[in-house]
C-alpha cells in the first residue's frame, strides 16, 4: 500500500497535461511502471489518481457486490463513469483527458493533494473553497471520525 504525503500546486497546459511534482514522483517511483487509474471523485468536483495496485484492491471489493441488485449496478455504473487508465510519461507529465478536465472544472492552476493512498487533482480555486468550507466543521468531524476513547468505542 502506498501512503502519500503532500499538497502541491502546479499548472496544466492547453492540452490538459501537468507536471507531476517531484516529491510525488519520488513517492510513486515503486509503482510508476504499473500505471494509474484516473476517475471522478464521488463527493467532490475533483479527480482521483489511483496507483494501479490500489485500484485493483478497490475493484476486488466492488466485484463482490451482487449485480442482481439494482442499487449495486447503479453504484458501479456511476462509480466507474469516466474512469481512464493513464501513465506518467518519461518527462514526468500526466495527461488528463478532456472529459475529466471538464468534470473537475480544471483551468490552468491546479492543486495535487495526497489522500492517504491516492492523489486528488483539483482546480486551485475549487480546492481552496473546499478546504475553507470544511474548516468550520473540521473539529466536529475529527471528533466524530477519530475521537473514540478506546477499543470498545471502535466497535460500536
pLDDT tens for the 156 residues of the chain, in order: 678 999 999 999 989 999 999 999 999 999 999 999 999 999 899 999 999 999 999 999 999 999 999 999 999 999 999 999 999 998 999 999 999 999 999 999 999 999 999 999 999 999 999 888 766 577 777 788 888 765 554 555
Using CA atoms, how far apart are residues 57 and 20, in angstroms rounded to an integer?
24
pLDDT of residue 2: 77
26 phi/psi in degrees, rounded to 5: -65, -45
What DSSP state is assigned to residue 150?
A: S
3-state SS of 46-111? CEEEEEHHHHHHHHHHHCCCCCCCHHHHHHHHHHCCCCEEECECCCCEEECCHHHHHHHCCCCEEE
Q: What is the structure's pLDDT at 4? A: 93
Q: State the pLDDT at residue 150.
A: 56
Q: Report yes or no: 115 and 48 within 8 Å, Cβ to Cβ.
A: yes
First-last CA distance in the chain? 27
Amino acid at each position: 500500500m502506498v501512503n502519500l504525503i503532500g499538497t502541491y500546486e502546479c499548472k496544466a497546459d492547453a492540452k490538459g497535461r501537468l507536471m507531476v511534482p517531484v516529491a510525488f514522483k519520488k513517492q510513486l517511483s515503486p509503482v510508476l511502471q504499473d500505471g494509474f487509474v484516473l476517475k471522478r471523485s464521488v463527493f467532490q468536483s475533483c479527480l482521483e489518481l489511483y496507483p494501479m495496485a490500489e485500484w485493483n484492491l478497490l475493484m476486488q471489493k466492488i466485484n463482490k457486490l451482487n449485480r442482481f441488485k439494482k442499487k449495486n449496478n447503479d453504484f458501479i455504473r456511476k462509480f466507474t463513469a469516466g474512469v481512464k487508465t493513464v501513465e506518467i510519461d518519461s518527462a514526468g507529465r500526466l495527461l488528463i483527458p478532456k472529459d475529466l478536465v471538464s468534470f473537475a472544472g480544471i483551468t490552468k492552476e491546479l492543486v495535487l493533494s495526497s489522500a492517504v493512498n491516492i492523489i486528488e487533482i483539483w482546480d486551485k480555486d475549487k480546492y481552496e473553497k473546499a478546504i475553507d468550507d470544511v474548516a468550520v466543521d473540521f473539529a466536529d468531524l475529527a471528533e466524530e471520525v477519530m475521537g473514540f476513547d478506546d477499543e470498545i468505542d471502535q466497535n460500536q
